[in-house]
């Protein structure tokens, strides 16, 4: 099969479009014929092996243990293991797998969900990691309640879905983005927009009940000035949207939180089949539609990763698999 592989840690230049064997599956695993694969920041962390914590987490010390890149996918079940009960060949699914930048990928059945019929494979492939992260930030870490005032900072993969989910859950949403993305975030459900090129989030001393920061480039002091006295701040990933890297603000918030009435929380998402299913249900109901900024054919997956690393993506980038 065709796949994007790498044999050593490094930049996008280490990614190769190559022929490899189709992977086998275990008793509790599912083989998926991939139609589309979402591009997530975790891809470049594993690709580069940075921060080094990534290597200690089991991805390989000197070289990537799993040679095929990619994790999010949407496709059709090709085969199932002996203990798989949720799916059968022919089912359309989306979720998280090992090595989704390929014609076939292996996934655990508890990391998949039925693909919403309303979404294309490209749209469904944009949901898993970013959607689960947005949902857990709002519902679990943020304890969002209907009617609350929510500030979502960033309009990338997580931010664009968090705006839609917050509005769907009954919040009054304000989004922070660049001038070029103001129309987009309004379409996604933001009632108000703060253009960060013109003003800061604490511009009028507006008090938000919940702030979800996916961008990672503002001091905690500014965010706290915009937060209600007993509000909650959720920091998604690291500084400058770097995922597990650059965790200084998260550590600072952990230390400071016990000494203030404001709740300051960091978070890293966890895979969850029930959350994937919930996202699928909301998408089927028309409440959630991933915004796709650009697609790349499989052989250009390295360009997709490079584009994501450059930043300022509105919504998601997706790799298509013929």
Point out the least confidently predicted range of 22-36, 88-102, 123-137, 205-219: 205-219
Q: Note the pLDDT tens digit of each residue in 42-59.
A: 886 777 666 655 565 556
154: closest CA among 267, 37, 311, 290?
311
| pLDDT for position 113 | 98
Q: Note the pLDDT tens digit of each residue in 214-242.
A: 987 888 889 999 999 999 999 997 654 44
Which stretch of DSSP H or E encloses residue 256?
Answer: helix 248-256
CATH 3.40.50.720 fits 129-267, yes or no: yes
Q: Note the pLDDT tens digit of each residue in 74-85.
A: 999 999 999 999
Say if residues 164 and 288 touch (Cβ distance below 8 Å): yes
Task: State what percent of residues in the chain have pLDDT above 70.
Answer: 88
Whether residue 243 is predicted with pLDDT greater than 60 in this model: the reply is no
Whether residue 269 is predicted with pLDDT greater than 50 in this model: the reply is yes
Q: 2-127+290-320 adopts what CATH topology?
A: Quinone Oxidoreductase; Chain A, domain 1 (3.90.180)
Sequence ranges of the domains in the chain: 2-127+290-320, 129-267
Task: State what percent of residues in the chain have pLDDT above 90.
Answer: 72
Burial (Cβ within 10 Å: 0-12, 13-18, ≥19) of residue 121: buried
User: What mean pLDDT is reported for the chain?
Assistant: 90
Q: Note the pLDDT tens digit of each residue in 22-44.
A: 999 999 999 999 999 999 988 86
Interval 63-89 mean pLDDT: 93
């Amino acid at each position: 099969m065709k796949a994007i592989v790498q044999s050593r840690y490094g930049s996008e230049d280490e990614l190769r479009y190559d022929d490899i064997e189709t992977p086998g599956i275990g008793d509790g695993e599912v083989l998926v014929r991939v139609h589309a694969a979402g591009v997530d920041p975790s891809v470049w962390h594993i690709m580069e092996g940075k921060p080094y914590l990534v290597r200690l987490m089991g991805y390989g010390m000197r070289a990537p243990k799993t040679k095929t890149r990619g994790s999010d996918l949407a496709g059709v079940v090709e085969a199932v293991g002996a203990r798989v009960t949720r799916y059968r060949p022919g089912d359309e699914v989306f979720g998280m797998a090992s090595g989704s930048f390929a014609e076939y990928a292996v996934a655990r059945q508890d990391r998949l969900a039925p693909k919403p019929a309303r979404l294309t494979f490209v749209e469904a492939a944009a949901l898993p990691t970013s959607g689960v992260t947005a949902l857990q930030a709002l519902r679990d870490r943020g304890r969002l309640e209907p009617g609350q005032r929510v500030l979502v900072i960033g309009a990338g993969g997580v931010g664009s879905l968090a705006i839609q989910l917050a509005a769907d859950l009954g919040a009054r949403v304000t989004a922070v983005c660049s001038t070029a993305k103001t129309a987009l975030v309004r379409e996604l459900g933001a009632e108000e927009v703060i253009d960060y090129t013109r003003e800061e989030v604490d511009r009028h001393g507006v008090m938000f009940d919940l702030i979800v920061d996916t961008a990672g480039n503002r001091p905690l002091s500014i965010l706290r000035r915009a937060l209600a006295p007993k509000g909650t701040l959720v920091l998604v990933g690291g500084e400058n949207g770097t995922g597990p890297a650059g965790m200084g603000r998260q550590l600072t918030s952990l230390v400071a939180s016990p000494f203030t009435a404001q709740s300051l929380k960091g978070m890293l998402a966890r895979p969850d089949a029930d959350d994937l299913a919930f996202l699928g249900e909301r998408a089927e109901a028309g409440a959630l539609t991933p915004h796709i900024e650009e697609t790349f054919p499989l052989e250009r997956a390295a360009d997709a990763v490079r584009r994501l690393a450059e930043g300022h993506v509105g919504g998601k980038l997706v790799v298509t698999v013929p």
